[in-house]
Structure 1
Amino acid sequence: MAEIIPLRGWRYNQELSKNIQDLTSPLFDVVSIKQREALYQNPYNSIHLSVPPGENPAQEAAIRLQTWKTEGILKQDYLPGIYVYYQYFRLPGSEQEYCRKGFMCHIWTYDWADKVLLRHENTIPASVNDRTELLAATHMQVSPTHGLYTDPNFILEKYMDESIQAPLHESEDYQGVRDVVAVIQDVAVVREFMKVLQPKQILLADGHHRYEGSLQFRKRQTAANPYHTGKEAYNYHFIYLTNTEAHDLRILPTHRLLLRLPLTNAEFLKKIETYFTITALTDPYDLNEIIVGKKWAFGLYLRGVPYKIRLKPEVHHQMAWEIPDEVKDLDLTVLHYFVLEKILGISQEAQRNSDQIQYIRSFAECLARVDHQEAEVAFITNGVSMEQVKTVCYSGALMPQKSTFFYPKVISGLVFSSIKQNEFYLENITCF
């Protein structure tokens, strides 16, 4: 079902690669303004291609990319391969080191209706359009989308473990994560990767906007090409695949900020009380711990005052959204329906486009933004489990946008994927 193929990666030249940590960047949707401005100071940092500056950013990125190719800043590997990508990390409060194991390749850009690649979140249209235009201008993907496959037998890990002993790149990124990249170009082993993935469905973990941007681009190119065969480079997407059965797969919560609240504190709490029990707290730093493991419970930081709120079980059946029970049962669905729609009047569709709702991973940042009056309300949430992600994906339904934060994030700039036709295939290599 899932067609993957090796890729001929573009990478920074050997001299620049010695300081690869100075060239990589966070993903476009997590990089902060301060990070972005600092990274722009390096003329060769990958941020110039993933979040290009200027009045015409996509065209600026295309011009810069061509310059980098011409000057040898970026060079393409001669042989296609599977790029193994390991991320070694720790979580706050723990000394245990985890290692998320995965690999990068090309995957056919499936329509959602094909049910080969399954999504679990809604996307924000403006971000999809941004990614589509950038891809159309550059034909280059700077960072892979994160997908998940299920293999309880761990067939591919032995090949990845062997290859990672001879890394192409090794560095520490902005998250404090150690990133290690290697490549497998052995024909028999690459075929084994393709064989193992062939019967699988892929769950989209992270990068919904980048994937949908590729999907929109493929449809656009297909419609414009009267000789479309299905083998063109534009049919493929750059993906990083990890095994759902691995112990070191971690999902962190993504909290919600409301920039402006059109109610007084008293008015808002009165409306909240219709659906939730409210517990006043004294220390806002207890908000994330007091809700752990509690269903439909949230931390509420209202203009500097902390509360714990928890949905009254008897009102849950009032949820009127036409979605499967698996999705209705999620904490974030409860928050988006009862608070954002019922109390604040922001419809399900309007929530996707609202400039008043922001999605923040950092608990401390949420509190600070409210304290500095940059936002009026923070909703602190629990994380989503891997089993919940699987359940929702297989049901065909969608979670509210920004429901998951798979940690750590992949990094932009370690390997680049071209879907420019004359860079995609090496004609004298037919073994795949």
Structure 2
Amino acid sequence: MAEILPIRPWRYNPSLSGDLDALASPLFDVVSEKQRKALYQNPLNSIHLSVPEGPDPTNRAAALLAKWKSEKVLVQDKLPAIYVYYQYFKLAGDSKEYCRKGFIAHIRAYDWEDGVILRHENTIPKAVNDRVDLLEKTELHVNPTHGLFTDPHFTLEHYMDAAIQNPLYETEDYQGVRDVLAVIHDASIIRRFIDVMSGKTIILADGHHRYEGSLIYKQKCIAANPNHRGDEGYNFHLMYFTNTEADDLRILPTHRIIRDLPDFHEQDILARLEPYFTITPVEDSHTVNEIIAGKPWAFGLLFSENAYKVRLKPDALQTMSWPFPDVVKKLDLTVMHYFIIGKALCIPGKVQRQSEYIDFDRSFSDCLQRVIKGDAQMAIITNEVSIEEVKAVCHSGFTMPQKSTYFYPKVIGGFLFTSIRQAEFELPVYSPI
């Protein structure tokens, strides 16, 4: 079902890759303004291709890419390969070192209705348009999206474990994660990867905007190409694949911040919540995340001076009018968006995706500080989503609310880039693949 191909990426010249820490960058949708300013100071940092700055940024990125190619800042691999990518990390309060194992390859950019790549989140239109513009001007996949496949037999991990013993790169990124990249050139092993993945469906874990940008760009190219065959570079997308059956797949919660909402009054909000929730004051706001941990339909509400635990009353779910199947209705995030954001804060569901009153923050301590300092009116603290919930929603054909999941750690940018420009995309004629 899923057609993947080995890649011939552009990578930093070996003379530069010894300082790869200074060239890598976070994904465009998680990099902070402070990080951007620091990274932009390095004229060779990959952020200049992933999040170009200044006026006419996409044309600037295209011109810079051409310059880097001509000056051999970037050099294209001669042989097709599968790239193995391991991320070693620890979680707060846990001494165990985890390792998320995966590999990077091209995958055919399947339309959603094909049912091969499944999404679990909605996208924000402006962010998609920005990705389309950048892809159109550069014809370059700067960062791989993150896709999940399921293989309880761990067929490919043996090959990846062998390859990672001889890493190309090993760095520590902005998350404190140790990122290790290796390569597989053996044609028979690459064929094994292709064959195993051909029977899989893929859940898109991260990178919905970049993937949807690829779909839109593909359709534009098809419309402009009367000789479209289906094997052109614009038909493919760069993806990092990990196995859902591994025990090192982590999804962290994404909390909601409310700011600048007109007619905001704490007591009015609580009164509108009361028909649906059991409301319990919390004396120490620093413990809210611990109090709700593991409890379904339980949320922490942080105000400037008060904090509450709220938990949905069992019968309240029956009043939800959104036309979703139970697998979506019963999600904590659906409950939060319908009852707390919709009913109590009076922000209708149809405008929540683009509401200027809703921010997202993955850090509980940041949420707490923003509310205490008055930078936010309120924070809604939630629990993480499980991988089983993600799978169930994907297979239902529906999606979760935006920013529902935060797969940790994030893929790092700058290790490799793949071109969909036809002359650079095609595998060499001597390739046995």
Q: Structure 2 length normalisation: TM-score?
A: 0.98
**SS of aligned partner of 1:105:** strand
For residues 338-397 of structure 1, give each alpha carbon's deviation from its aligned partner in whole angstroms, at most 9, with x where no partner exists: 122222232222111112211111111111111222211111110000110111111111
Alpha-carbon offset, residue 64 of structure 1: 0.9
Q: What corresponds to 1:117 in structure 2?
A: 117
The CA distance in 1 between the partners of 2:64 and 2:49, in whole Å, is: 8
Q: Name the CA distance, whole Å, in 1 between partners of 2:294 and 2:28.
A: 31
Separation of aligned partners in 2, 1:303 and 1:274: 23
Q: Which residue of the partner structure matches residue 394 of structure 1? A: 395
Q: CA–CA distance in 2 between the matches of 1:46 and 1:368?
A: 32
- What is the CA deviation profile of residues 18-46 of structure 1, one whole-angstrom value per residue up to 9, with x for unaligned ones? 01011111111110000010100010111
Match in the other structure for 2:307: 306
Name the CA distance, whole Å, in 1 between partners of 2:75 and 2:290.
48
Query: Shift of residue 417 of structure 1?
Result: 1.3
* Contact kept in structure 1, 2:270 and 2:344, CA below 8 Å: no
Structure 1 portions without partners, runs of 5+: none
Displacement, 1:155?
Answer: 0.6
- Structure 1 SS opposite 2:307: strand
Q: Distance in 2 between matches of 1:53 and 1:224?
A: 29
* Structure 1 residues 186-205: aligned runs within 5 Å: 186-205=186-205
* C-alpha distance in structure 2 between counterparts of 1:239 and 1:348, whole Å: 31
Residue of structure 1 equivalent to 2:24: 24
Query: 1:317 aligned to 2:308?
Result: no
Asked if the contact 2:255/2:380 (under 8 Å) is kept, the reply is: yes
* CA RMSD, Structure 1 to Structure 2 (Å): 0.9
Give the equivalent residue in structure 2 for 1:327.
328
Query: Segments of 4+ in structure 1 off by > 4 A?
Result: none
Measured in 1, the distance between the counterparts of 2:289 and 2:345 equals 23
Provide the secondary structure at the position in 2 that maps to 1:313. coil
Equivalence for 2:253: 253
Gaps of 5+ in 2: none
| 1:28-427 paired onto structure 2 within 5 Å | 28-261=28-261, 262-427=263-428
How many residue pairs get matched? 432
> SS of 1:179's equivalent?
strand
Q: Percent identity?
A: 59
What's the secondary structure of 2:203's corresponding residue? strand
Which residue pairs with 2:5 in the alignment?
5
Query: How far apart are the structure 2 equivalents of 1:427 and 1:34?
Result: 42
Verify the 8 A CA contact 2:279 2:309 in the aligned structure 1: yes
SS at match of 1:274: coil
Question: Letter of the aligned partner of 1:364 in structure 2?
Answer: S
| Deviations 1:380-425, CA, capped at 9 Å, x for gaps | 1100001101111111110001111100000011111111111101
1:430 deviation in Å? 4.4
- One-letter amino acid of the structure 2 residue matched with residue 190 of structure 1: I
Q: Aligned with 2:159: secondary structure?
A: helix
Question: Structure 2: how far apart are the matches of 1:145 and 1:415?
Answer: 13
1:92 is paired with a residue of what secondary structure?
coil
Cα distance between partner residues in 2 of 1:3 and 1:347: 40
Letter in 2 for 1:335: M
Residues in 1 aligned to 2:430 and 2:384: alpha-carbon distance in whole angstroms: 45
- Partner AA of 2:200 in structure 1: K
1:353 match: secondary structure: coil
Per-residue Cα deviation, 1:301-360 (whole angstroms, up to 9, x for no partner): 023421111111111111111111100000000000112222223222211111221111
State the TM-score, normalized to the length of structure 1.
Answer: 0.98
